[in-house]
Structure 1
Amino acid sequence: MYAKTLYCYILLVFGNGVLWTNHERRIPFVHATQIVFTNVQCHSENKTLCEFKQCELKLLKRGFSELNIYLNVKQKADNVTVRAELFRKTNGYTPFMYNFTVDFCDFKRNPQRNPVLHIFFRFLERNSNLNHTCPYDHDVILKNFVMPDGVLMLLPYPKGDYMVQLNFAARNKWLIFVKVFVTLTE
């Protein structure tokens, strides 16, 4: 029941604006049905606090790849902030729809406060060890992650190339930068 209500809310708030915008520009709106990872880039600003051991895509078959990230955390992180941004490729990557900055520890305690991030992290937690609140005093592992097609039923997007940029800060310093490039197709 909650998911159905959330879907209706998101569709009313975001979906109508997208459809109206596309109608005004005379661009046909085609909902994407499949998410394909095309590239991933990871960067750690301070390697004495945390360091990426693995950051790669594993090709399963044509059009299907798994995302694998292994972050070696060397010091306990109990004050974590995350900034999530969505970019769409149009003559370079331009901001598209979402730009959130949230206290990650508070978000993990109360995920319903940010429904869009909650939908994303609900799928992410299935293949990672990010399933608890702060503090994080262990390595962060995302293994064999494939974005399920069902997420596009909850959050419809037009087809095209996108970049999801996730920046993580600990103790009010931006330390971790992850860019995931995806293509949404029919």
Structure 2
Amino acid sequence: MIAIITRAYKLGLGLLDAVIFKMTNAKCETFNKSWVLVYNCRLKAVRRHVTVLNINSTYLHPVNKLSVHGQLFKKANGYKPWLINVTFDACRYLRRPNNPAVSMVFNLFKEFTNINHKCPFYGPQLVEGFYLKPELLRLPLPTGDYLLEITWIFIGHNIIRTYILNLLRIYKQVNKIL
């Protein structure tokens, strides 16, 4: 181990960069409370660099046709659209995952939610204890503040909009190898 560190230092690799993700705010709004009730949409600080997202909502009617519009924004004089802007049929995607941009975001959430089955969706829909794992985000992103906006569209009508502000507050932490 010491030989590897010494060799890395001699090659000029004395600094290692680590990416830190930090979520700072979450907001969920319902446009039609006769279809969906959102009971909980909040962030909870667990440790210094770990903040978890919890969303608890209930679909009051079975949803057989669900579309999702996801958009990623980057902060630069306000939030500007950046990289991902996609609308997809969620029921079709869950039957056959065929969209790489959606797969990238869904794989981040998959183990923290019960929204991983085919349509229809009915009853409680949860995201519990979600936090960003750097090893799952394979896309190299520049440092900065990002916003993920997800709009849930039931049968052609906007029903829920979820904002996760500063979803990826990315900054590099520099550590010296001793």
- TM-score grouping bracket, smaller chain normalisation: 0.7 to 0.9
Structure 2 counterpart of 1:137: 122
Per-residue deviation at 1:34? 2.5
| Structure-1 separation of matches of 2:136 and 2:144 | 16
Per-residue deviation at 1:35? 1.7
Structure 1 counterpart of 2:140: 156
Q: Which has the higher strand share?
A: 2
| Structure-1 separation of matches of 2:37 and 2:157 | 15
Listed as ranges, the gaps of 5+ residues in structure 2 are 1-16, 173-178
Per-residue deviation at 1:32? 7.3
Name the count of aligned residue pairs.
154
Per-residue deviation at 1:61? 2.0
CA radius of gyration, larger in = 2
Q: Does residue 173 of structure 1 match 2:157?
A: yes
TM-score, normalised to structure 1's length?
Answer: 0.79
Partner amino acid, structure 2, of 1:90: A
Q: Which has the higher helix share?
A: 1
Report if aligned partners of 1:32, 1:156 keep a CA contact under 8 Å in 2: no
TM-score, normalised to structure 2's length?
Answer: 0.83
- CA RMSD, aligned part only? 1.3
Per-residue deviation at 1:123? 2.6
Q: Does residue 124 of structure 1 match 2:109?
A: yes
Structure 2 counterpart of 1:16: none
Report if aligned partners of 2:73, 2:80 keep a CA contact under 8 Å in 1: yes
4+ aligned runs moved over 6 Å, structure 1: none
